[in-house]
Amino acid sequence: MNPYWLEGLKPETAPLAGDHRADVVVIGAGLCGASAALSLAEAGLAPVWLERGFVSVGASGRNAGFVLQGTAERYSRAIAVMGHDRARRVHGWSRENHAAMAEAVTRFGIDCAYQKRGSLQLACSTEEEGELLESAARLAEDGFPATVLGGEDLPACYRDAGFRLGVHLPDDGELHPAQFVRGLSRAARSAGATLHEATSVSRIDAQGAGDVTVHTSGPAGAGSVRASLVVVCTNAYAGGILPFFADKVDPVRGQMLATAPAPALFGCPVYADHGYDYWRQDEHGRVVLGGWRNLDPSAEVGTDEVLHDGIQSRMVEFLHRFAALRDVPVTHRWSGTMGFSRDGLPICGPVPGAPGVVAAVGFTGHGFGFAFLAGKAMAELVTEGRSDFADAFPSRRFGI
Ligand SMILES: Cc1cc2nc3c(=O)[nH]c(=O)nc-3n(C[C@H](O)[C@H](O)[C@H](O)COP(=O)(O)OP(=O)(O)OC[C@H]3O[C@@H](n4cnc5c(N)ncnc54)[C@H](O)[C@@H]3O)c2cc1C
C-alpha cells in the first residue's frame, strides 16, 4: 500500500498533550477541515485543529485529484432524482467550489499542478450513450458548457480502446490533491490555526451550546480541548464520534493505482461506466487510475484501507486496452475511504443532538467538488451563525 500522493509524508506538528481551552476546535485535516481552519483563522479566530494522522492522509490525499462539477450522478439523472431547480443549484455550488479552489491556488501560491483542461465522460454501453447525450443537452440548456464527441471527434486512443461516444466538460480541473490540501494547511497555520497531528478524537461531550469538550488520545497521552464550538470534518469517519451520522454516512472503499511515467495519451481527466472508472495523467505522465468498485460493491465497504486484488487486476487489464501503456509498470497501489451519504449529497450544519457542534460530511466520492466551500460554510456558521451553502445541504432533511 503506497499512495502516490502521500509518499514521504508524516506528521509535522506536535500531538496534543494535556487540557486546553479554545474558541473553536476543528476535527479532521482533509480538504474540508483545512478549508474550515483557514477561513476561521482568516476571520480572526485561533482554532485548535486536530488530526489523527497527518494533513491529507484521508480521502483527500488518496483520490484521483479530479475537480469535477456536479454530484456522482450524471446531470440528467440528478434532475430526475432532485428536481430541476435543486439539481441546477447543486451543480452551481460545485462550479463555485472549483472557482474558489482555483482562487486559493493563486492567492496562496500553492504548487499543486492545478490545470483546467476539462473532463471527459465516456460511455461504456448504448444505454450510457443515451444517458450522456441527454445529460449534455440538459447541461447546455442550463448554461453549463458540454460538447458531445462522437465518431472522428473522439480522440483516437479512446476509439482504439473500444469507446464510441464521450462528452467533454471544458470547465473541470485537476490537481495534486495532497499538495493542495497541505498548501491550505500552511496558509491556515500562518493565519493563526494551531494544528496537532497524530491526535485522535475519541469523544465529544456537548454539554450545551457554548460548552463542548473534545477528548483525545495519541502518543503524548490523553488530552482535551474545551471550546464554545466544534467543527467536525471527518467525512467517512463521522459516525465514529457523532452517533447522528452512524446511519447517514457510510464508509465506502475506492481502489487506486499509479503507473511509471508514460507517453502522453490522455488530455484531461476521464470517467467512464457511470463514473465507476476514472483516470488521468499527471504532469509527470503517470497514469493515475481508480474505481471499478461495482465489481464487488459488498466487499468495498468499511474504513480499512486494504487492496482488493481482483479489482486491482481488472484495473491493470483495462490499462492494457491502451497499446501505449502495455509495457508501463504500475508503481503504486492504494485504497481510500469515501463517505457516502444516503442521498448522495453533502450534509452540512448543526448536528442534531450535539449542541455546539457543526459538521460537513458525506461528500459521496465528489468531495473536491464541494468540500472547500463546505469548510468555508462551517466557518460562516461559527462566525455569523448562518451560511447559504449549509442551508442548501441541511442535516434536518433526514429527520431528527
Ligand atoms: C479512491 C478515491 C478517489 C476519489 N476521487 C475523487 C476525485 O477525483 N474527485 C473528487 O471530488 N473526490 C474524489 N474522492 C472523494 C474525495 O477524496 C473526498 O470526498 C474528500 O477528500 C473528502 O474530504 P474530507 O476533508 O471531508 O475528508 P478526508 O480527506 O477523509 O479527511 C478527514 C480527516 O479526518 C481525520 N479523522 C477521522 N476521524 C478522526 C478522529 N476521530 N480524530 C481526528 N481526526 C480524524 C482523518 O484522518 C482524515 O484526515 C475520492 C475518494 C477516494 C477514496
| CATH number of the domain residue 195 falls in | 3.50.50.60
* 352 and 372 together in one domain: yes
Tell me, yes or no, whether 205 lies in a domain: yes
Q: Does residue 270 have its Cβ closer than 6 Å to ligand 1? A: no
* 190 and 233 together in one domain: yes
* 317 and 242 together in one domain: no
Domain end point (choices 290, 313, 340): 340
* 225 and 303 together in one domain: no
Residue 379's nearest CA partner among 35, 3, 22, 5 is 35
Q: Using most ligand atoms within 8 A of CB, pick from 368, 373, 393 the residue to mutate for ligand 1.
A: 368
pLDDT score, position 368: 98
* 316 and 270 together in one domain: yes
Tell me, yes or no, whether 96 lies in a domain: no
Q: Which three cell numbers stand for residue 70?
A: 456536479
Classified as helix, coil or strand, 203 is strand
Q: Classify strands 270-272 and 18-27 as parallel, antiparallel or unpaired.
A: unpaired
Q: How many CB atoms lie within 10 A of CB 186?
A: 16
Residue 225's nearest CA partner among 49, 33, 40, 12 is 49
* 268 and 333 together in one domain: yes
Q: How far is the CA of 228 from the centre of ligand 1 (A)?
A: 26
* 256 and 143 together in one domain: yes
Q: Does residue 31 have its Cβ closer than 6 Å to ligand 1? A: yes
Strand partners, 348: 360, 394
pLDDT score, position 400: 64
Q: How far is the CA of 130 from the centre of ligand 1 (A)?
A: 32
Q: Does residue 305 have its Cβ closer than 6 Å to ligand 1? A: no
pTM, rounded to two decimals: 0.98
* 45 and 153 together in one domain: no
pLDDT digit string (tens) for 79-88? 999 999 999 9
Q: How far is the CA of 22 from the centre of ligand 1 (A)?
A: 25
Q: Does residue 37 have its Cβ closer than 6 Å to ligand 1? A: no
Q: Using most ligand atoms within 8 A of CB, pick from 52, 63, 287 the residue to mutate for ligand 1.
A: 63
Q: How many CB atoms lie within 10 A of CB 352?
A: 14
pLDDT score, position 380: 98
Q: How far apart are the first and last CA of the chain?
A: 39
Q: How far apart are CA 18 and CA 3, in angstroms?
A: 33
Q: What are the start-end ranges of the E strands in the chain?
A: 18-27, 48-50, 66-67, 119-122, 147-150, 165-169, 173-174, 194-196, 200-208, 211-217, 223-232, 249-261, 270-272, 277-281, 286-291, 330-341, 347-350, 357-361
Atom index in ligand 1 nearest the CA of residue 241 equals 41
Query: To the nearest whole percent, how much of the chain has pLDDT over 90?
Result: 97
Tell me, yes or no, whether 28 lies in a domain: yes
* 269 and 222 together in one domain: no
For ligand 1, atom 50, name the residue with the nearest CA.
63
Atom index in ligand 1 nearest the CA of residue 240 equals 41
* 255 and 336 together in one domain: yes
Tell me, yes or no, whether 75 lies in a domain: no
* 264 and 144 together in one domain: yes
For ligand 1, atom 41, name the residue with the nearest CA.
201
Q: Does residue 179 have its Cβ closer than 6 Å to ligand 1? A: no
Q: How many CB atoms lie within 10 A of CB 45?
A: 20
Number of folded domains that form the chain: 2
Q: Does residue 256 have its Cβ closer than 6 Å to ligand 1? A: yes
Q: Using most ligand atoms within 8 A of CB, pick from 56, 60, 68, 252 the residue to mutate for ligand 1.
A: 60
* 310 and 269 together in one domain: yes
Average pLDDT by stretches of 10, the chain with 400 residues: 94 96 97 98 98 98 98 95 97 98 98 98 96 97 97 94 96 98 98 98 89 96 97 98 96 98 96 96 97 95 96 97 96 98 96 95 97 98 97 87
Domain end point (choices 317, 340, 363): 340
pLDDT score, position 209: 66
Domain end point (choices 315, 340, 365): 340
Residue 197's nearest CA partner among 33, 338, 10, 336 is 10
Main-chain phi, psi angles of 360, to 5 degrees: -135, 110
- The whole domain housing 186 covers 4-62+178-248+343-398
Q: Does residue 62 have its Cβ closer than 6 Å to ligand 1? A: yes
The CATH number linked to 152 is: 3.30.9.10
Tell me, yes or no, whether 222 lies in a domain: yes
Sort residue 203 into left (φ over 0), alpha (ψ -120 to 50) or beta: beta
